[in-house]
Amino acid sequence: MYLESKEIVPHPADLVYPLVRDEMQKIVPYLPNIERIDTVQREDRGDGRHYRLNHWYAVANLPRFLSGIIKPEFFAWKDFAEWRDAGYCVDYRLEGFWLTELYTCSGTNFFQPVDAEHTEIKITCGIEIYPDRVPGVPKLIVKRAMPAIEAMVRQLLEPNLTSLATGIKGYFDAQGKPSL
Q: Is residue 179 part of a domain?
A: no
Residue 148 lies in a domain: yes
Residues of the domain holding 31? 2-174
pLDDT for res 24: 93
Whole-Å CA distances, 54 to 38, 40, 147, 155:
5, 6, 29, 22
Q: Is the pLDDT of residue 102 over 80?
A: no
CATH for 69: 3.30.530.20
Let me know if residue 180 belongs to a domain.
no
Taking the whole predicted model, whether its pTM rises above 0.95 is answered as no
Say what the pLDDT of residue 178 is. 58
**What pLDDT, on a 0 to 100 scale, did the predictor assign at position 96?**
81
Does residue 12 sit within a domain? yes
Degrees to nearest 5, angle at CA 92 with 13 and 134: 145
Looking at the predicted structure, is the pLDDT value of residue 25 above 70?
A: yes
Q: Quick check: is 95 in a domain?
A: yes
In a domain, 154, yes or no: yes
How many domains does the structure of the chain reveal? 1
Task: List the strands of the sheet with 89-96, edge to edge.
Answer: 2-9, 118-129, 103-115, 89-96, 76-84, 49-58, 34-44
pLDDT value of position 39: 96
